[in-house]
Structure 1
Amino acid sequence: MFTGIVEEVGEVVAVEDLGTDSRLVLRGPVVVPGTVHGASIAVDGVCLTVTTTDEPAGTFAADVMPETLRLTTLGDLRPGSRVNLERAARAGGRLDGHIVQGHVDGVGHLVSRTPGPRWDDLVLAAPADLLRYVATKGSVAVNGTSLTVTHVSDESFGVSLIPTTLEATNLGALEPGDRVNLEVDVIAKYVERLLEARS
């Protein structure tokens, strides 16, 4: 489990195409120290299992399965790509964002961004089957970043990025048309499932 509070913006060092799957090598000097084989790190909101680490180089490797490549933006990554990184939450730690599983629900894209005095307002398009879980003032994870929804329409939703988010995540560099990983609030999905079971 994650919180959606990005620890650092890392960099893709290498992408190894293994046919149907791939292996990523990523640089993350903040998240690598103390990380062991089998640990979980969210890469742009996608929970990946660490296969190897190189602490002196500040890098780690992770395998990416075909399903993950199909359902997320990880297949778009190239050496030099900047990615949001977050280690798994510790039991007993603070939950500063919201419950994020690292199980991406779908891919959306940036429609527009409007700069404010110290923040940016973003409008993101999302698939209709995901928008039903998005609520004004609710939470959504965009590239693994926990954000509060400002408004929702039939085709999109809005978020505002404070200066810290603009500086500490890769969302500050998004341009219209850029694809993003989306994870909706898991509680909304459970509520829907329980209501379906009752009827």
Structure 2
Amino acid sequence: MLVGYCRTSSIEQMAGYQAQLRDLKLQGCEKVFSEQVSSVNSNRPELERAIDFARESDVLVVTRLDRLARSVSDLSQIVARLEAKQVGLKILDMNIDTTSPTGRLLMNLVGSIAQFEREIMLARQREGIAKAKAEHKFKGRAPTARRKASQILEMHLAGQGASQIAKIVKVGRSSVYRILAEAA
């Protein structure tokens, strides 16, 4: 049985999400597990359900490697769990299928290259930020909630609750509480 897994990092990525679902169905996946959660988050319940659901000689199918794992160690752990259950892994965009020795070799190579690229990108990003800071051009992320502090305080004084304020002002509830605590 082909078991599909699709993931996007956020619900804003609806087109990519729908494209993954379409591709998995076209591939012939009989059961598809899907979620919209960042892979950085270690809690991916639908991935866990997909792995638990898969039985011996099934194949877990994903559209792209980055939809499944974020690092070589993460990928290795997932592949090891699948291998322990004698479940294969197929990555559509790379045409990799671990049910063959060549597919397993390619999986290890691709995972290593993907992690290498990510580490290089992060190193360049850190270098760019350090340079911008040295030139006094880097300000960091704009403090969205703090810019809205006066509006939050006015709404609180008008009797609105933190959850309602957060929804109207479009900031996190914890940010509302932090601003109210700082003002007290």
Q: TM-score range by the shorter chain?
A: under 0.3
Structure with bigger strand share is 1
* TM-score for both structures, normalised by structure 1: 0.24
Q: Which has the higher contact order (CA 8 A, sep 6+)?
A: 1
Structure with bigger helix share is 2
* TM-score for both structures, normalised by structure 2: 0.25
Name which one, 1 or 2, has greater alpha-carbon Rg: 2
